[in-house]
Structure 1
């Protein structure tokens, strides 16, 4: 039997368009998807999340939770709403964004594909605690994946259109999968 999940302070600051996102039942959620913001800081990630990119719904791209470098957890979308964070899986998934520069600002340049910033211990601790809390709240939650596991699309590189690069590489090679998987009750999607 797993121990009770730890208390985890979560700052809830919903995106302005949250109520326009599709509603869903908790039983439909079986997957956590780990992302990195690929932006310099949480402030910029929030600004990007607030952008309305989809004309019909007047919503944008966002995750449910954001974990800053200091380990603080911010919730921008309620879990009973479908956030736009990974193609083809949104209706069943909770998106967790870790603040990390990733490939910023040249995301799709072939010459800039390294993702060198390590994840901070405080982020990993908060991520593990968050997953434990979510698992306790959602009996249907069984799986975890990285964005890179689910979106393997390649596109022409912005600095060399003859080369292809992965559209999504997050959370990237510095994410401590072994450590996280050893401490949570979810299976990684192969």
Structure 2
């Protein structure tokens, strides 16, 4: 019974934090960085942020990447949706998509490369490996009917540096689309 009560309390805290409202100053990147650092909490440092319309409502939304103090833990991705003016809501959090800062392999280190927003799509680019490298682009799309973000596709490009000695590098590309995953919500990827 005690475990069940603890579960409900933790779930309620997560849900209330996830729907919290924030005020961000988009026009001043230095001030915005400070505001985002406060919003993601003292146990995280802001690794990166990207501004763009991820809900197809012509308002600037924010995707923030937080890094924990322990460099061997996964990063968190925060989706802040603009409600109006400077008012934003934390709509979703993903704690598994971007691995730790040292998980990219000997040649890479930090696998996180960048976040790209294009209309109601957003992608995370990740690089892993030493000589054999894998470059992942994981893309989500906003579904207006369901009012949420779902996996659209993921692309893996692989190559081996030893091929450079022969003068020709072959890049193998594998594209997986949402039909192959079923329906995967952003926070569950």
If the length of structure 2 is used for normalisation, what is the TM-score?
A: 0.27
Q: Which has the larger radius of gyration?
A: 2
| Bigger proportion of residues as helix | 1
Bigger relative CO (Cα 8 Å, ≥ 6 apart): 1
Task: State TM-score, norm by structure 1.
Answer: 0.27
Return the structure number with greater strand share: 2
